[in-house]
Amino acid sequence: MINKVLVLLVTMCLFACNTNNKQYDTYASEHLKIEKISENLFKHISYLDTESYGKFPCNGIIYFNQNDVIVFDTPTNDKASAELINWIGEKNLKTVISTHFHVDCLGGLNEFHSNGFISYANELTIELAKANNKIVPQNGFDQELKIKIGDETVLTKYFGQGHTKDNVIGYIASEKALFGGCLIKELKAGKGNLEDANVTAWPITVSKIKRELKELELIVPGHGKTGGTELLDYTIDLFSEKQ
């Protein structure tokens, strides 16, 4: 009898553990792609319809730890965001960070708010979002923000101007991973949209990241392919050139 009870308890425990630790896989639709980077880290890709570049892919990341999740940058619109949120499923702590005020970072923020995500952004991002009639993140921070996701502390930090005045990065130490957003370029990329950029400060800002985050191995740029620290070097060199 005791053995049967023990088996039942173990079975129930395993079921509960599996329920709380959903096994995630890749995803693809017309509006959204999700690529697996590691067991707990994924890249989401949505699209902007642009005059200059056509249907332009935009990156963000999703990080899971225990029953918590953090998303850096929303998909570009509510439809793609709804698909992403459905893919994520139910979590205890749901956080979304917008890395700057452009639509490729917060275009789907309303959908996240409607689904119980708590949003954060640099105080300057909030100011610029309001000034440009964009969706406004709920909570602001100055310089850096640390959020506990499961048993890992995820860092969001402002290193200086570059693609925009307000751009920040996300860093997950356990993954040795950086989400650089539009501050970091994929290899062979051009300079892109410079409408709100500070091209003089840009290489200085990225050099600060390289000096401070010495354990980096994986970097996800705002657009294009994931890489390593060569993306930092490429971005520094690209904007160190004479304009």
pLDDT at 23: 65
Q: Residue 10 domain-assigned? A: no
The two tokens of residue 150 are 């499961």
Known catalytic residue: 113?
A: no
Residue 127 lies in a domain: yes
In a domain, 55, yes or no: yes
Asked whether residue 7 carries a pLDDT value surpassing 50, the answer given is no
What angle is formed at CA 202 by the lines to CA 242 and CA 159, rounded to 5 degrees?
Answer: 160
Give the domain range for residue 231: 25-240
33-36 vs 27-28, strand pairing mode: antiparallel
Decide if 5 is inside a domain.
no
Higher pLDDT pick, 7 / 145: 145
- 3-class DSSP state of 236: helix
Cα 126 from chain centroid? 17
pLDDT class for 64, splitting at 50, 70, 90?
very high
Tell me, yes or no, if 188 is annotated catalytic.
no
* The total number of structural domains that make up the chain: 1
Give me the CATH number covering residue 137.
3.60.15.10
Residue 6 lies in a domain: no
Q: What is the pLDDT of residue 24?
A: 85
Active site residue 163: yes
Is 229 inside any structural domain? yes
User: Is the pTM of the predicted complex or chain greater than 0.75?
Assistant: yes
Q: Quick check: is 184 in a domain?
A: yes
Residue 25 falls in the annotated catalytic set: no
Amino acid identity for residue 97 in this structure? I
Please report the pLDDT score of residue 25 as a whole number: 84
Catalytic residue among 33, 44, 102, 165, which?
A: 102
Q: Is-catalytic flag, 49?
A: no
Q: What pLDDT, in 10s, does the model give residues 100-118?
A: 999 999 999 999 999 999 9
Is residue 56 left, alpha or beta, with left meaning phi > 0 and alpha meaning psi from -120 to 50? beta
- Residue 80 CA to residue 33 CA, distance in Å, equals 9
Sequence letter at residue 131:
A
Q: Is residue 211 part of a domain?
A: yes
Is 185 one of the catalytic residues? yes
